[in-house]
């Protein structure tokens, strides 16, 4: 199901993502701090394409599943 990511700006979205998603930080844990910052800067620059005068909105999806036994 569609789950758009909305924020005031790409910078704000990346800041929240950086703090909230431990998996991203775990993947970069072995990088020197300068390199981690460089990666996050690249992410922010690439996410700017989803900015408009109305703010930031990037497409997203959530997969939901159910099962019974």
First to last CA, the chain: 24
Cα 34–chain centre separation = 19
DSSP annotation of 32 reads -
| The pairing of beta strand 5-7 with beta strand 55-58 | antiparallel
Neighbours of 10 (CB within 10 A): 20
φ and ψ at 61, to 5 degrees? Answer: -135, 150
Q: What is the pLDDT of residues 18-53, one digit of tens each?
A: 888 888 888 889 999 999 999 999 999 999 999 999
Q: What is the pLDDT of residues 4-21, one digit of tens each?
A: 999 999 999 999 988 888
């Amino acid at each position: 199901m569609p789950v758009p990511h909305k924020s005031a700006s790409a910078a704000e979205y990346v800041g929240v993502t950086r703090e909230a998603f431990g998996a991203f930080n775990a993947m970069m844990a072995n990088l020197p701090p300068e390199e981690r910052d460089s990666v996050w800067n690249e992410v922010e620059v690439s996410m700017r394409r989803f900015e408009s005068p109305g703010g930031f909105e990037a497409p997203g999806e959530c997969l939901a599943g159910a099962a019974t036994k």
